[in-house]
Structure 1
C-alpha cells in the first residue's frame, strides 16, 4: 500500500529522521503503520499529492552514497549540508557548540564529527544504513545485545565507535565527559525501536549512544558541566591536535 498524507491519530516518530510527531500532526502514513514527517516526505517513488497514494521523488545523491558517509565540511553562507547528520548539526546545535568535521585520532582513525558543547565532547560516526533498527538480546550470552540494521549485524561497527572516545579522553582530560555516538541516518525507527524513541531513550551499547541524527543533537544540547569559556578552549585544543581527513 502507498503513502497517504493525513493527520496522525496518536502521533509517532518519523521513520526517516526520528523526529517526534504530536497528536493529530499532519504526516505521511502507509498501511504497514510507518510514519514519516512532511519534511522527509513519503517513502516510495511517485510525485506526492494531498490525500492520494504517493511516493517520494528519487534521491540520486542518497542512492549513490556509500554506506560510510562522505566527509563534507559546512561552509558559512552556503546552502545547508545535504547529509542528515550534517544538516541536524547545522540547524539544531545549541549556540556556542563547536563542530570539527572530517577529523582523525592521533593514531589515524577517522572520525566523522567531533562536537564540543556544554554536555561534553562527542565522537560521532554517521552511517547510511537502511532497514529496521533493532537491538536484540543474544540467546547464548546473558545480558549481551546485538545491533541489527536491515537484518545485518552491525555490533562490531558500533563497538568501534566506542574506541574512538578513548583518544579524545586523553586529549580532553579525565574531568571532561567524552561520549561516543553512532547516528544511523536511513534506518527505520518506526517499529521495534518506537517505545525507546518516544521516551527519548534510543539504544545504548556499552558507552555508545545509537539513534537518529536529530535526537543525537538534542542530547548534545543538554546542559552539562562545561562552561562556555571551557567549550571554546577545548574546541581550539582539539582543532589543533586532531588531524584532518
Structure 2
C-alpha cells in the first residue's frame, strides 16, 4: 500500500509513548510512527488512510494483516547445521571409499561435534512448540532470531505483559546447580554446573543476548535472561535459581513466569513484538 502524503504529518521515532489514533494500539517510546502536528496525535506507520477518506481502523495482525511479524522456526539454525555437517561427512566418506562408503556410514556413528547440533535442535524445537501453544494477544513469541553483524542467534524471545524474556533452550543431562566460590577474602565467583559439567559459558552467552535486546528496547528493567533446561534432572521441590541476573529453570517454571500479570497492555506487547521482530530477523 502506498502511503498518502499529508502536509502536517511527519515520520519519526517517538520520544514518548502514545496511542495510534487509527487502530488504538499502544505505541511505546522509540517506536517508528507518524506524528500529525495539527492534532498532536500519532498513528502506526502501517495505518494508512485512503485518499479523500477519513482514517479507518486497520485489520489487526491476528486478522490477516500482511505485515504480521514472522515468528520464525524453533531450532531452525541448529537443525540446518546438523544436516549440513551430516551431509558433508557422508560426501567425504563416499568419495574416499567409493565401494564401502555406504557400509561405513551404516555401521559408524556421527561424531559428537555433529550430534550436539541435533541434540540442541531437538531442545529448541520442543520448547518452541510449547511456547507457540501458549502464544496469545498478551504472550507473543519469536524463534531463532539472527543477531545483525554476528553469526550468533537467539533461540527464543517472548514478549509478555510482565516483560521481554530472552530464552536459551538447552537439552543437557544432569542436575543444574549453582556453585559459589570466594565472597569474603576473594572475589565472589558463580559457576553453573549441570551434573559435573561446567556450563558457566552458557550464562555468559545469554547475558550477551540480553544486552542486544536491551539495546533495541532501550529499557534495562524489562528484559530478562532465561536458561531453560528441557530434560535436566530437576528436584521435586525447588531447584530453580538465578545466577548473574539469568534465571535458570525448566519449561513449566518458565510458562508460569510468562503467564504472570504485568504493567503492559496487549497493545504494548504487540508493538514491542513488532519492534523486536523487525530488528532481529529470522535466521534463515
Larger Rg: 2
RMSD between superposed Cα atoms in Å: 2.5
Q: Judging changes above 3 Å, is the alpha-carbon distance between structure 1 residues 226 and 68 closer, same or farther for their aligned structure 2 residues?
A: farther
> Does residue 220 of the first structure (1) align with residue 263 of the second (2)?
no
Unaligned runs of 5+ in 2: 1-114
* Aligned-pair CA distance for 1:67: 6.9
Q: Please state which structure has a larger fraction of its residues in strand.
A: 1
Q: How many residues align?
A: 166
What aligned pairs does 1:87-236 form with structure 2 within 5 A after superposition?
A: 87-93=129-135, 95-108=137-150, 109-138=152-181, 141=186, 143-174=188-219, 177-190=222-235, 194-197=236-239, 202-236=240-274
Separation (CA, whole Å) in 1 of partners of 2:194 and 2:118: 12
1:90-120: CA deviation from partner (whole Å, max 9, x where unpaired): 3345652111111022333200011111011
Separation (CA, whole Å) in 2 of partners of 1:143 and 1:100: 35
With normalisation by structure 2, the TM-score equals 0.53
3-state SS of paired residue (1:89): helix
Q: Judging changes above 3 Å, is the alpha-carbon distance between structure 1 residues 121 and 107 closer, same or farther for their aligned structure 2 residues?
A: farther
Q: Please state which structure has a larger fraction of its residues in helix.
A: 2
Q: Judging changes above 3 Å, is the alpha-carbon distance between structure 1 residues 88 and 215 closer, same or farther for their aligned structure 2 residues?
A: farther
Separation (CA, whole Å) in 1 of partners of 2:182 and 2:117: 32
Q: Judging changes above 3 Å, is the alpha-carbon distance between structure 1 residues 182 and 212 closer, same or farther for their aligned structure 2 residues?
A: same
Separation (CA, whole Å) in 2 of partners of 1:239 and 1:123: 13
Q: Judging changes above 3 Å, is the alpha-carbon distance between structure 1 residues 93 and 65 closer, same or farther for their aligned structure 2 residues?
A: farther
Instruction: Please tell me whether the aligned partners of residues 66 and 128 of structure 1 are also in contact (alpha carbons under 8 angstroms).
Output: no
Instruction: Please tell me whether the aligned partners of residues 117 and 220 of structure 1 are also in contact (alpha carbons under 8 angstroms).
Output: yes
Q: Which one scores higher on RCO, CA 8 angstroms, separation ≥ 6? A: 1
3-state SS of paired residue (1:188): coil
Q: Residue in 1 aligned with 2:117?
A: 66
Instruction: Please tell me whether the aligned partners of residues 105 and 168 of structure 1 are also in contact (alpha carbons under 8 angstroms).
Output: no
Separation (CA, whole Å) in 2 of partners of 1:119 and 1:242: 21
With normalisation by structure 1, the TM-score equals 0.60
3-state SS of paired residue (1:126): strand
1:15-59: CA deviation from partner (whole Å, max 9, x where unpaired): xxxxxxxxxxxxxxxxxxxxxxxxxxxxxxxxxxxxxxxxxxxxx
1:163-189: CA deviation from partner (whole Å, max 9, x where unpaired): 111111111122760011111112101
Separation (CA, whole Å) in 2 of partners of 1:187 and 1:238: 30
Instruction: Please tell me whether the aligned partners of residues 71 and 112 of structure 1 are also in contact (alpha carbons under 8 angstroms).
Output: no
Instruction: Please tell me whether the aligned partners of residues 129 and 186 of structure 1 are also in contact (alpha carbons under 8 angstroms).
Output: yes
Separation (CA, whole Å) in 1 of partners of 2:137 and 2:271: 16
* Aligned-pair CA distance for 1:144: 2.6
Instruction: Please tell me whether the aligned partners of residues 161 and 262 of structure 2 are also in contact (alpha carbons under 8 angstroms).
Output: yes
